């Protein structure tokens, strides 16, 4: 797998690069992944999106992995710390201040249970299986996301 990533045999899913880059210009982005850091960072490099994610929480950063929400809570904490160090903000992010983009129904349920809003993407599950999310799209393409979350319109200008 690592060799395929290094050879750039992977590409981002349709709409992902535009979605990430549009958000990246306006809000701090982070990733909470169940993968090992080396694998995930190599994959991000391979799809040219590593620069968009200054905060990454990987499998080795948490005692209990997904679907447990502890990785997402740690991610929010780390993003809060970065915001405080660069902007002087001292108010920590609450789960409700974040947007989780997720494709696994069990993870969607667990993070919603602790207060995170979720945009589900039908990549590994049918959209009908993602009903526990606040919003669901088939792809992270701008028109689909804005149809579900019109408040993001100002970000996608």
Compute the mean pLDDT over every residue in the chain, rounded to the nearest whole number: 91
Stretch 58-64: mean pLDDT = 96
CA angle (59, 112, 154) in 5-degree steps: 95
Domains and CATH numbers, the chain: 2-152 (3.40.50.1000)
Please give the Cα distance from 115 to 94 (Å, whole number). Answer: 8
Judge whether residue 7 has pLDDT over 80: no
Please give the Cα distance from 61 to 37 (Å, whole number). Answer: 9
Please give the Cα distance from 157 to 41 (Å, whole number). Answer: 28
3-state secondary structure (DSSP) of residue 101: strand
Neighbours of 65 (CB within 10 A): 17
Stretch 101-115: mean pLDDT = 97
Helices (H) and strands (E) in the chain, counts: 6, 5
Whole-angstrom CA distances from 33 to 40, 61, 110 are: 8, 10, 15
pLDDT band at 94 (very low <50, low <70, confident <90, very high): very high
Stretch 68-95: mean pLDDT = 90
Please give the Cα distance from 117 to 101 (Å, whole number). Answer: 9
The pTM of the full predicted model, rounded to 2 decimals, is: 0.91
Of 150, 153, 112, nearest to 131 by C-alpha is 112
């Amino acid at each position: 797998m690592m060799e395929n990533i290094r050879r750039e045999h992977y590409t981002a899913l349709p709409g992902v690069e535009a979605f990430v880059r549009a958000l990246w210009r306006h809000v701090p982005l982070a990733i909470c992944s169940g993968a090992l850091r080396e694998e995930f960072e190599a994959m991000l490099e391979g799809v040219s999106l590593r620069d968009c994610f200054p905060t990454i929480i990987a499998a080795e950063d948490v005692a209990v992995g997904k679907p447990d929400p502890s990785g997402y809570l740690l991610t929010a904490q780390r993003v809060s710390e970065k915001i405080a160090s660069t902007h002087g903000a001292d108010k920590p992010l609450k789960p409700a201040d974040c947007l989780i983009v997720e494709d696994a129904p069990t993870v969607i349920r667990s993070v919603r249970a602790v207060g995170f809003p979720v945009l589900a993407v039908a990549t590994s599950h049918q959209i009908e299986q993602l009903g526990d999310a606040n919003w669901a799209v088939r792809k992270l393409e701008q028109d689909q996301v804005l149809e579900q979350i019109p408040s993001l319109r100002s970000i996608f200008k």
